[in-house]
Amino acid sequence: MTPAKTLDEVLARLDVLIDEGAARGSTAGLFPALYRSVTAGVKAGIEAERFDDGPRMARFDIDFANRFFAVQAAWQAGQPTPRAWRVALQALDDPQVGDLQHLLLGMNAHINLDLGVSSAEVAPGASIKALENDFNTINDVLASLLDGTQDALGDFSPLLHKLDVVARDGDEAFANFSIAKAREASWRTARSLAPVPEEYRGGLVDVLDRGVRNLGHLIARPGPLFTPVLLEVWETESRDIPAIVRRLNRISDLRSDPSAKKGGRRKPSAGKGGARLG
C-alpha cells in the first residue's frame, strides 16, 4: 500500500475503513472511527497553530497513521503483523470482547507500541527533546474527546456504569488502563529509541511489542473479577454497530445529538469505569 502523504489522505483512508466496517456491521469500524476524530482534532490544532512546529506535527501524524494502515493491509493480505496488533485484530471475531475493549485494544497497540516508534523516527537523536511540547499538546486533543467517547458507548449499553464498582474494587490491568499512562510510557519509549540508529532499533521494538501484546491479552480477557457484571451488561447492550460507529465518528456533537437509535442486545463490553480512558 502506498503511504498517505497528507492528513486529508489519512482522513479519507480512515473513512474507507469506517464505511467498510459499518457496511458489514463489524466492530472493525470502531477504532478507525475514534482514530478519525483524534486525527481531525490534531489537524484542526495544526491549522489553529496550537503546535510549536505545525509541519513537523503533520509529518508525525501522517507517519503514525501510516503504521496503522500498514498493519491493516498486512492483516488483510494474511501477512505478519506486530504481536500487539495481532491481539487486537483477532479480537474482532471474538464474541466475548465488547466495544470498549475493542477501542482499548486498538489504543493499546497504537499508543503503547506505534506512538513511541513514530516519535523517534520523526525526531531522531537530540531532536526528540524539541518534540516533547507538541507531543504533550496532543493530550489536550485526546482529553477533549474522552468523555464523549465514554458517553457514546454508555448510550448504547445502559448498564456499563455497573463496572464502576468492579473497577474501584479491583487492581487488574484492564481496570487500570489509562490513556495518560500509555502516552507517558510511549514518550519514554521515544526517548529511549531516538538515540539508537534506526538499523539497531528492531530488537528493542520487538521486546516492546511483546510487552504490549501481554497487556492486550489482559484487556481482551480481563479475568473473573469482571465476568458476572459483563454478563449482566450483555443483556442490555446494543448490537447496532453502524450507529455506534457514526457516533464515535462525530464525538464533538455527541452531547447535543439525540438522533442515534439504540439497537437490541449485543455482546459484553467493558464500561465507563471498567477501564479509565483518561
| Residue-wise pLDDT tens digits, 54-106 | 999 999 999 999 999 999 999 999 999 999 999 999 999 998 888 888 998 99
| Across 29-45, average pLDDT | 93
Instruction: Please state the domain count of the chain.
Output: 1
Residue 258 lies in a domain: no
Any domain includes 260? no
pLDDT at 165: 60
The residue that leads in pLDDT, 159 or 184, is: 184
Contact assessment for residue 13 and residue 69, using Cβ atoms and an 8 Å cutoff: yes
Give the amino acid at 126: A
Residue 261 lies in a domain: no
Whether 230 is covered by a domain: the verdict is yes
For residue 266, is it within any domain? no
191 phi, psi to nearest 5 deg: -65, -30
3-state secondary structure of 226: coil
Rounded distance between C-alpha atoms, residue 83 and residue 206, angstroms: 9
Query: What is the value of pTM for the model shown?
Result: 0.85
190-211 per-position pLDDT tens digit: 999 999 999 999 999 999 999 9
pLDDT of residue 234: 65
d(CA 96, CA 107) in angstroms, rounded, equals 19
Phi, psi torsion values for 103, nearest 5 degrees = -65, -45
With respect to residue 151, please indicate whether it lies within any of the assigned structural domains: yes
Rg (CA), the chain: 18
Task: Determine the average pLDDT of the residues in 258-277.
Answer: 42
Cα(99)–Cα(244) distance, rounded to whole angstroms? 9
Dihedral over Cα of 242, 248, 249, 251: its sign = positive
Residue 262 has pLDDT above 50, yes or no: no
Residue at grid coordinates 516492546 = 208
Query: Is residue 265 one of the residues assigned to a domain?
Result: no
Is position 172 within any domain?
Answer: yes
Cα–Cα distance measured from residue 123 to residue 135, given in angstroms and rounded to the nearest whole number: 11
User: Which range in 65-74, 154-163, 253-262 is most confidently predicted, on average pLDDT?
Assistant: 65-74
Digit-coded pLDDT (tens) for 132-158: 999 998 877 777 777 677 778 788 888
The residue range of the domain holding 135 is 7-252
Q: Which residues contact 103 (CB under 8 A, 6 or more apart)?
A: 30, 31, 34, 149, 153
